[in-house]
Amino acid sequence: MHNQLRFIIAAAALLAANAALAQDAKVGSLVGDVHQGQQVYRRYCIGCHGARGDGLGDNAPWVDPKPRDFTSATFKCRSTPTGTLPTDEDLFNTIGRGLHATAMPSWGALTKQQRINLVAYIKSFSPRFKEEKAGDPIPIPAESPATAESVHRGAELFQKMNCWSCHGKQGHGNGPSSVGLTDSKGFPITPYDFTSTSQFKCGEGSHDLYRAFMTGLDGTPMPSFADSLEPSAAWDLVHYVQTFGTSKGRVKPVPAGTIRASAPENRPSPADSKDKAKAGGGSEQQ
């Protein structure tokens, strides 16, 4: 009798634990399943992000930047304000896109169902997803025309908002404040080198760039400028940042010296000299 009761209680506890684990995820008509997500995670993700989701997988020592620790629920790529949880769709998109210039590849070759299952499973690593709701996606007003004037205004904002202090005047990521930056886990981090590519971690579209500085990349020194930038100014910055990239761009390249700052960086840094070597060799080496 007693034993039976104990069994029932144990079974109930197990069910409750399972229910708690059943962190759902939804994007459109896709619904994620935690348990199936776990299977997919074991196959593809465990080597970097670790069995406990703490970013300490077998390969983590050889990966830089380090794989994300999911237990803290801090994510770089969000559509939601800084400090809030990402939406399921944010995570879903990140998994499909991968994080450019890191070891995290695009998992777009997995089925959508596998990806939404992964979202559900990743969320189960942090209690925050049970306690809080995802933030509300920031509004993104219609993009202003990418004219030369817009680029010009963006260039001025790049100065005024001190973007250059980290990203460097020529976007090489070697501004004076770039030295010794660390992320929230204490690992060294360098500001994005805008000139190396036209791809960004959180997407390459202009909306993705807009989001990057209006939501910030949480867990990194890249802050959110939502409080200090008007939407129209943010679009100007988007257009300016896009001129750095290697893609032919939507905006015609502007003559050096007019808009792109051509002055040498204020202070040489190790990153700086590396950068120079790169620039010296012509446009783009491997």
| Total residues interacting with ligand HEC, rule: CB under 6 A | 48
103 binds ligand HEC (CB under 6 A): yes
Q: Residue 19's beta-bridge partner residues? A: none
Q: Which does 189 bind (CB under 5 to 8 A by kind): other proteins, ligand HEC, none?
A: ligand HEC
Residue in 71, 81, 98, 231 binding other proteins, rule: CB under 8 A? 98
Of 11 and 88, CB closest to ligand HEC: 88
Structure token pair of residue 34? 């935690």
198 binds other proteins (CB under 8 A): no
Report whether 178 contacts 214 (CB < 8 A).
no
Q: Which does 151 bind (CB under 5 to 8 A by kind): ligand HEC, other proteins, none?
A: none
CA torsion 125-127-128-133 (nearest 10°) is 100
58 binds other proteins (CB under 8 A): yes
CA-nearest of 246, 205, 175 to 77 is 205
DSSP assignments along 19-53, one per residue: HHH---EEETTEEE-HHHHHHHHHHHTHHHH-TTS
- Residue pointed to by tokens 């896009």: 242
Q: Which of residues 106-135 bind other proteins (CB under 8 A)?
A: 106-113
Angstrom CA distances, 201 to 84, 103, 185, 228, stand at 19, 11, 19, 23
Of 151 and 209, CB closest to ligand HEC: 209
Q: Which does 271 bind (CB under 5 to 8 A by kind): ligand HEC, other proteins, none?
A: none
List, in order, residues 6 or more apart from 271 with CB less than 8 Å away. Answer: 172, 173, 174, 178, 179, 190
Residues of this chain that interact with other proteins (CB under 8 A) are: 39, 42-44, 46-48, 58-59, 62-63, 98-113, 286
Residues of this chain that interact with ligand HEC (CB under 6 A) are: 44-45, 47-49, 59, 63, 65-68, 75-77, 91, 94-95, 99, 102-104, 107, 118, 122, 161-163, 165-167, 177, 181, 189, 191-192, 200-202, 209, 212-213, 217, 220-222, 225, 237, 241
